[in-house]
Every structure is written in C-alpha cells, then in structure tokens.
C-alpha cells in the first residue's frame, strides 16, 4: 500500500531553502518517492487550520517512507534546513 508524507512548512529564508529542497528531492527519489504537490495554491475548506505551504509526497509503502525519513540522505537535508524553515510533518498509510 502506498504511504503519504504530508508537510506544512513555513519558510523563513527563501534563498537558503533551495539547498534543502535539492537534498530532500534526491533523498526522496532514492526511496521510490515522488512529489504529488509542492507548494501550489491551497484553500481551507473547513476548520481553523491555516497551513502556509503544503507538500505531499507519495512512497510505495509505509516502510519505504519510514526508511527515507530515517536515512542519512534526509538527515543531511534536515541539517540544511535548520533555522531557515519550520515543518509540521505527518506520515499516513494509503489505501490498497
């Protein structure tokens, strides 16, 4: 079953975040992931949640998504974003 990483991000330094994006994209591809949405237009349909910039990544399985998050490649990306962006991230298993 596929799995989805859903991220709400607040970018504090638009110039320096480019290095994070490059490293994150490389690490995602290594685990079979792909971007489904990456910062496009959004609107809140119900509730009080006010996301700023949403990213949606699909992985082939929950295990692959968890392995990606624990990988050294993504750890390098997280180090690159330290102090320049704030993230809220969840992982959810999809339907068969």
Encoded tokens for 45: 């349909």
Mean pLDDT of 82-96: 96
Total number of domains constituting the chain: 1
Kindly report the pTM of this predicted structure: 0.93
Which residues are bridge partners to 56 per DSSP? Answer: 6, 37
pLDDT of residue 85: 96
pLDDT (tens digit per residue) in 25-38: 999 999 999 999 99
Query: What strands lie across the sheet with 3-11, from one edge to the other?
Result: 34-38, 53-59, 3-11, 85-93
* Residue 12 belongs to domain with CATH number: 3.30.70.100
pLDDT (tens digit per residue) in 3-22: 999 999 999 999 999 999 99
Domain that holds residue 80: 3-41+50-93
Mean pLDDT of 86-96: 97
């Amino acid at each position: 079953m596929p799995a989805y990483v859903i991220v709400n991000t607040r970018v504090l330094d638009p110039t320096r975040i480019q290095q994070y994006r490059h490293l994150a994209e490389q690490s995602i591809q290594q685990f079979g992931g792909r971007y489904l949405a990456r910062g496009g237009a959004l609107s809140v349909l119900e509730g009080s949640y006010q996301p700023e910039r949403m990213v949606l990544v699909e992985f082939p399985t929950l295990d692959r998504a968890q392995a990606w998050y624990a990988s050294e490649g993504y750890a390098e990306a997280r180090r690159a974003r330290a102090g320049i962006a704030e993230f809220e991230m969840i992982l959810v298993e999809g339907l068969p």
